[in-house]
């Protein structure tokens, strides 16, 4: 699903920036570029189409870009973009606001409005047609070109989604694209609605899908706690236990079976990790919430059709 769209090493130093501008025009939007403090452009771009939305990963040397009213009239995809800064410094001026964003911060901007930006480093870009965002357009003015945290709360969930998708994109098939794009849209809508104080504007089904992602992320962060219960999970998200069970049932699984599957998956991964070869199986099991070794062995064997010790032996034998 990941497409390698551009690498400056495939171009001469003289032609690299012009080639980059053409690729950005086709993949993102029409923009003009100029280099800053260098005569040679270094950069790369990968894209991942997710149904009606697109996720891109990119790195670049110092440049400034401008999108003027004339360029907008010439070509406008009418998209919103959420940029996750991965490294370097990024400055953008749009909507009569100037913002400087650093690593782990998120920036929203609009292809239909002029902007001026300067950047150096790397970022991820989640872009989607404006009509797909279930929030009134005039409210978005408050968050356009305003740095928002991507290291906590809903911003962390959205950032984790973007990072995981770009790093593990090869694991997904074209059939996964549209559903994954919907997950990203739900997270983006929930994230922006939260910062606008407009949570009720987001449709109920979108809120439910975003809630499911929030809860599963929370559980994954606490898999090592053997005492984690559905009651704890529900209380942490201010919902009833009954609502929690209903939410997971909509995804065809119970809360406890989903947690058990996640724990077993983490154990399986660690058992096949050469760097953890010296760690006793019972220690790995305990790390992921299995207090009793016999319970772990029984559950692992039932799911994978082999014992933990045999699985580990086969994993290293195949190496």
Q: What is the pLDDT along the chain (319 residues), one digit of tens a residue?
A: 788 999 999 999 889 999 999 999 999 999 999 999 888 999 999 999 999 999 999 999 999 999 999 999 999 999 999 999 999 989 999 989 999 999 999 999 999 999 999 999 999 999 999 999 988 888 999 999 999 999 999 999 999 999 999 988 777 788 888 989 999 999 999 999 999 999 898 988 888 988 998 899 899 889 999 999 999 999 999 999 999 999 999 989 999 999 999 999 999 999 999 999 999 999 999 999 999 999 999 999 999 999 999 999 998 876 6
Burial of 115 (0-12, 13-18, 19+ CB in 10 A): buried
- List Cβ neighbours of 245 (8 Å cut-off, separation of 6 or more): 230, 254, 255
Q: What is the pLDDT of residue 226?
A: 94
- State the Rg of the chain over Cα: 23
| C-alpha–C-alpha distance, residues 81 and 184, integer Å | 12
Q: Which of 211, 202, 203, 221 is nearest to 250 (CA)?
A: 211
Q: Which of 187, 195, 130 is nearest to 159 (CA)?
A: 187
| C-alpha–C-alpha distance, residues 146 and 73, integer Å | 25
Q: Is 183 helix (H, G, I), strand (E, B) or coil?
A: helix
Q: What DSSP string describes 215-277? A: HHHHHHHTTT-TT--HHHHHHHTT--HHHHHHHHHTTTS-HHHHHHHHHHHHHHHHHT-GGGT
Q: What is the pLDDT of residue 175?
A: 85
Q: Is the dihedral of CA 24, 25, 28, 30 positive or negative?
A: positive
The fold of 3-220 is Jelly Rolls (2.60.120)
How many CA atoms lie within 13 Å of 215's alpha carbon, on the beta-carbon side?
31
Q: What is the pLDDT of residue 316?
A: 83
* SS (HEC) of 44-86: EEEEEEECCEEEEEEEEEEEEEEECHHHHHHCCCCEEEEEEEE
């Amino acid at each position: 699903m990941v497409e390698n769209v551009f690498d400056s090493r495939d171009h001469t130093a003289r032609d690299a920036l012009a080639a980059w501008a053409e690729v950005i025009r086709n993949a993102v939007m029409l923009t003009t570029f100029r280099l800053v403090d260098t005569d040679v452009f270094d950069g790369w771009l990968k894209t991942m189409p997710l149904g009606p939305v697109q996720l891109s990963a990119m790195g670049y040397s110092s440049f400034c870009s401008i999108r003027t009213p004339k360029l907008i009239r010439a070509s406008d995809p009418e998209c919103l973009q959420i940029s996750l800064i991965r490294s370097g410094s990024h400055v953008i001026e749009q909507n009569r606001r100037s913002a400087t964003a650093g690593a782990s911060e998120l920036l929203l901007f609009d292809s239909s409005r002029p902007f001026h930006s300067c950047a150096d480093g790397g970022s991820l870009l989640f872009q989607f047609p404006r009509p797909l965002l279930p929030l009134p357009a005039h409210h978005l003015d408050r968050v356009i070109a305003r740095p928002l945290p991507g290291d906590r709360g809903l911003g962390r969930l959205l950032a984790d989604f973007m990072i995981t998708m770009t790093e593990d994109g090869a694991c997904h098939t074209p059939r996964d694209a549209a559903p994954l794009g919907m997950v990203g849209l739900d997270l983006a809508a929930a994230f922006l609605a939260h910062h606008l104080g407009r949570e009720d504007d987001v449709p109920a089904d979108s809120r439910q899908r975003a809630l499911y992602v929030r809860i599963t992320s929370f559980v994954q962060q606490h898999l090592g706690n053997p005492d984690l219960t559905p009651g704890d999970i529900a209380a942490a998200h201010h919902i009833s236990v009954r609502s929690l069970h209903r939410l997971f049932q909509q995804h065809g699984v119970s809360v406890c079976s989903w947690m058990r599957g996640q724990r077993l998956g983490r154990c399986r991964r660690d058992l096949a990790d050469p760097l953890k070869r010296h760690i006793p199986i019972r220690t790995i099991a305990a790390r992921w919430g299995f207090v009793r070794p016999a319970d772990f062995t029984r559950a692992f064997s039932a799911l994978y059709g082999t014992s933990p010790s045999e699985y580990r032996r086969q994993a290293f034998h195949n190496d």
